[in-house]
Structures are given as C-alpha cells and as structure tokens.
C-alpha cells in the first residue's frame, strides 16, 4: 500500500454500523467500506458545495417550503450533470488507488449508490442551509 493510500485510510472516520459480511455483494461491501466513510469525511465540504450551488441559483432554494427544498436537493444532484460530476470528484478524489481500481469495475452502479447517499446526507442536514442563510443577512 502506498503512503497516499495509507494516509487516506488513516483520516477516514470509522462507522461502526457499516458492517461488512461474506454474503454482501461487492457493491454493498464497497459502499460500506469506502463510500460511507469517504462521504462522512467529506460532509462539511459537501454542505458548503451545495450552499454555493444554492447561491449560484439566485437563492431560490430559500423561497421554497420544506418539501420543495427536498425535491430541489434531489433534482440538483440527479439532473445537473456538471454539479453531479463535481460531487463525484469530491468523493472519488478520496479513494485509494486500490479502491479506484475496484470502483471502475462497476462505476455505473456505484455512482448511483454514491449520489443517493449524498442526496440523503444533504436532505438529513437541510437545517444547515437555514443557518447559512441567516448568517448571510
């Protein structure tokens, strides 16, 4: 294992609930061993990137009710290809070379898992954007 790979693994949070078993699919194993810790590690950056996305879209997010905000989050990540690719880069950039080699074997399926996890993480922290909008005033 390279120094880079070792360093990346050292800084990742441990997620006790991310179980890995023999009967798991390779995608599920990758999700629990790699995606969940990386997404958790990158959480604050993901929130700031989404906050910047809101700003670039004229802050229309703040005019929406809660249900529409959740839909806005989903649409931004699922339909804005440039934004989605940016989010993927934030996550993939934290992979070890060994993980990247596993990732490219089934990137389409893993990208779907990755983006769904990011959507859920941002939705679960939607209150962050309320605080951010109050600080901007």
How many Cβ atoms sit within 10 Å of the Cβ of residue 105? Answer: 11
Using pLDDT thresholds of 50, 70 and 90, give the confidence band for residue 58.
confident
Distance in angstroms (rounded) separating the CA atoms of residues 22 and 126: 35
Using pLDDT thresholds of 50, 70 and 90, give the confidence band for residue 22.
confident
Listed range (34-43, 53-62, 83-92) with the worst mean pLDDT: 53-62
**pLDDT at residue 137 in the model:** 47
Distance in angstroms (rounded) separating the CA atoms of residues 41 and 80: 23
* 102 CB-near residues (< 8 Å, 6+ apart): 26, 30, 34
Using pLDDT thresholds of 50, 70 and 90, give the confidence band for residue 44.
very high
Q: What's the distance, CA 96 to chain centroid? A: 17
List, in sequence order, the alpha helices (H) in 1-137: 3-11, 26-30, 36-41, 43-56, 66-79, 81-92, 97-103, 107-124, 127-136
Q: pLDDT digits over 99-134, tens only?
A: 999 999 999 999 999 999 999 999 999 999 986 555
**pLDDT at residue 130 in the model:** 82
Q: What percent of the chain has pLDDT over 70?
A: 95
Ramachandran category for residue 61: left, alpha or beta (phi over 0 → left; psi -120 to 50 → alpha): alpha
């Amino acid at each position: 294992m390279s120094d880079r790979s070792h360093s990346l693994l050292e800084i990742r949070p441990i997620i006790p609930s991310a179980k890995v078993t023999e009967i798991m699919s390779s995608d599920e194993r990758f999700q629990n061993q790699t995606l969940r810790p990386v997404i958790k590690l990158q959480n604050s950056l993901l929130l700031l990137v989404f906050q910047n996305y809101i700003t670039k879209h004229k802050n229309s997010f703040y005019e929406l009710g809660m249900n529409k905000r959740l839909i806005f989050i989903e649409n931004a990540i699922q339909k804005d290809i440039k934004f989605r690719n940016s989010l993927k880069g934030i996550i993939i950039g934290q992979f070890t070379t060994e993980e990247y080699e596993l990732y490219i074997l089934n990137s389409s399926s893993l990208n779907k898992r990755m983006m769904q996890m990011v959507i859920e993480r941002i939705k679960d922290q939607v209150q962050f954007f309320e605080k951010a909008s109050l600080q901007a005033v």
